[in-house]
């Protein structure tokens, strides 16, 4: 394969970036391809936090293959970093390597970079082009972009329902409304998230593990429970293995101590009504470097999150069935006028097995 256009180069770099989909958090997923005279001489993608970024991987790959990168073009899906974090600046490494040209898909919104990487490259006499396949690159790092620009994660709410919008029978039974292919696909979306959030109601009714099982992943997402009064059973499966965060409004020392013994961490974010302040929780998760938050909760918490403006995207799996009188998707107040409805835009519609997957974003 040869690369003759910038779009081809960035498209290939995006393929490399996707290899880091499950592992780079809290860093962005970045791919890099080095091309000389149309020939690919180095490729790489960002490794787990603290390890090499995509540009360093690609430079090392070229060196290991015996190629001279001087005068080459570097295609990278995000502006090269210009600061010392867990690793040295990639922009400096590219300058030292003597590359002639850098094509970046999108500028880095991180205030520590934000154009400084491009400026450093240009100051060294390297030609820089930015904005090739920018939308595709933003989608790859939609959570990182959200955290850097808004201070909070990109929140994706997943639900499975019948065609008449029912998520469970009147007695609470919901296994299984959708087919195996849709359920496995849901695990893929869990795996790419930094954290999975649910509510105490779901924990009490279903005792879920909320981990990734149906797809291979080297990293399990953080698990978070919204539990205003610390009612969770210390033996709940979602606490197994430790590391679960519990967002609460309760300062009960005895309950908190029991949960900490199970390895849980308590996040105190009360609102004026004694419930969890959901917008404040989103900002706290942003401070804790959560890029993408995957919500799998019941209709009450779903409704509260939507009502509080905390949801960016719905991930809905619709089964070709109807359930009649049963539980709905969201607990939202009745409207007197259609003017009060929340509008969404369809982002993607795809058939998964026998079911329909809809990605819709709040406008």
Residues with a known catalytic role: 55
Indicate the SS3 state at residue 316.
strand
Q: How far is CA 111 from CA 107, 117, 257, in A?
A: 11, 11, 38
Cβ neighbours for 157, distance < 8 A, ≥ 6 positions apart: 295, 297, 302, 305, 306, 311, 313, 314, 315
* CA distance linking residue 315 with residue 294, whole number of Å: 9
Query: Which residues are CB-contacts of 74 (< 8 A; sequence separation ≥ 6)?
Result: 32, 33, 34, 35, 55, 58, 94, 99, 101, 102, 103
Extended beta strands in the chain, E state = 31-36, 39-45, 73-76, 101-104, 127-130, 154-162, 166-169, 195-199, 222-226, 245-248, 265-268, 292-295, 313-319, 326-328, 344-352, 355-362
Exposed, middle or buried: residue 22 (CB in 10 Å: 0-12, 13-18, 19+)?
Answer: buried
Within 13 A of 119's CA, how many CA atoms are on the CB side?
8
């Amino acid at each position: 394969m040869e690369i003759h256009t910038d779009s081809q180069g960035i498209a290939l770099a995006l393929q490399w970036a996707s290899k880091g989909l499950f592992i780079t958090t809290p860093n962005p997923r970045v791919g890099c391809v080095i091309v000389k005279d149309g020939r690919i001489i180095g490729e790489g993608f960002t490794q787990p936090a603290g390890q090499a970024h995509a540009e360093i991987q690609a430079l090392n790959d070229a060196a290991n293959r015996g190629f001279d990168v001087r005068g080459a073009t570097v295609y990278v899906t995000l502006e090269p970093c210009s600061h010392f974090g867990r690793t040295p600046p990639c922009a400096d490494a590219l300058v030292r390597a003597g590359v002639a040209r850098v094509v970046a898909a999108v500028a880095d919104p991180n205030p520590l970079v934000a154009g400084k990487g491009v400026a450093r490259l240009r100051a060294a006499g390297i030609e820089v082009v930015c904005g090739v396949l920018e939308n595709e690159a933003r989608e790859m790092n939609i959570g990182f972009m959200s955290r850097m620009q808004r201070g909070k994660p990109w929140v994706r709410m997943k639900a499975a329902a019948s065609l008449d919008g029912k998520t469970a029978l009147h007695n609470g039974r919901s296994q299984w409304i959708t087919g195996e292919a849709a359920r496995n696909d849901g695990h893929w979306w869990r795996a790419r998230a930094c954290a999975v959030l649910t509510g105490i109601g779901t924990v009490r009714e279903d005792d879920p593990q909320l981990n990734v099982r149906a797809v291979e992943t080297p990293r399990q997402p953080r698990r978070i429970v919204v539990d205003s009064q610390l009612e969770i059973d210390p033996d709940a499966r979602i606490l197994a293995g430790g590391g679960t965060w519990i967002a609460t409004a309760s300062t009960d020392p005895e309950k908190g101590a029991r949960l900490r013994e199970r390895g849980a961490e308590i996040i105190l974010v009360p609102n004026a009504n004694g419930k969890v302040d959901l917008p404040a929780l989103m900002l706290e998760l942003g401070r804790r470097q959560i890029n993408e938050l995957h919500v799998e909760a019941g209709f009450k918490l779903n409704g509260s999150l939507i009502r509080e403006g905390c949801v960016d995207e719905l991930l809905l799996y619709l089964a070709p069935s109807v359930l009649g009188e049963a539980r709905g998707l969201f607990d939202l107040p009745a409207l007197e006028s259609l003017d009060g409805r929340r509008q969404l835009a369809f982002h993607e519609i795809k058939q998964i097995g026998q079911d329909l997957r809809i990605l819709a974003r709040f406008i």
